[in-house]
Amino acid sequence: MCLLFGALGLTACSSGHSKFSKLETVPNVDLQKYIGEWHEVARLDHWFQKGCVDSKATYSLREDGDIEVLNECRMKSENGKIKKATGRAWIVDSDTNAKLKVQFFLKSIKLSFLAGDYWIIALDDNYQYAMIGEESRKYLWILSREKNLPENTLNDLITKAERDGFPTQELLFD
């Protein structure tokens, strides 16, 4: 899921084969409920997101059925310069809508080899928080409709991520 930053900041980060057990996604995602603005609560850090604070992703449906992605963050402080990137996401598992590909480079053409995996591995019943990852366990985001999550909810998500094999000790909190 990597040419940028944020929850959908993946492009040159394909997961390849994994040394971990199979990563389970949520059983079903209603895209109409999922679209909208999501704030990053925590993430595993990567070059495309270095210096980002106050990160958010906004998703909207495109006419072709894919998803338009707008990632934004502020550089180094909440008053820093805004960094933006637009991308495109598409469903790769139509049985669940929980596995997507995301592409930021040459986004007018779907090119899976330039796209990263975006797997929804946790999702609140009311679509108020989500956790995004992929099989290599190198990329993880905890997202919320609000800028913060209740501590017990955040702890539950971190515990799940740790059980799933993610290096949660490396999480950065926004």
In the predicted structure, residue 150 carries a pLDDT above the cut 90: yes
Residues 82/76, Cβ–Cβ less than 8 Å = no
**The predicted structure's pLDDT at residue 59:** 98
Residue that the structure tokens 């072709």 belong to: 64
On the 0-12 / 13-18 / 19+ scale of CB atoms within 10 A, 46 is middle
Measured in degrees and rounded to the nearest 5, phi and psi for residue 38 equal: -130, 135
Show contacts of 108-111: CB within 8 Å, 24+ apart.
110/66
84 or 5, which is more confident: 84
Cα 99-55-13 angle, rounded to 5 deg: 40
**Each residue's pLDDT tens digit, 67-88:** 999 999 999 888 889 999 999 9
**The predicted structure's pLDDT at residue 5:** 42
**Is domain 31-173 in CATH 2.40.128.20, yes or no?**
yes
Regarding beta strands 171-173 and 99-103, do their DSSP bridges make them parallel or antiparallel, or are they unpaired? unpaired
Report the 10 Å Cβ neighbour count for 78. 8
In the predicted structure, residue 61 carries a pLDDT above the cut 60: yes
Q: Sorting pLDDT into bands at 50, 70 and 90, what band is 105? A: confident
Q: Sorting pLDDT into bands at 50, 70 and 90, what band is 125? A: very high
Q: What is the distance between the alpha carbons of residues 71 and 84, in angstroms, rounded to a whole number? A: 6
Residue that the structure tokens 């999702």 belong to: 123
- The structural domains of the chain, with segments of one domain joined by +, span 31-173
Q: What is the distance between the alpha carbons of residues 160 and 23, in angstroms, rounded to a whole number? A: 11
In the predicted structure, residue 2 carries a pLDDT above the cut 60: no
Residue type, 66: D
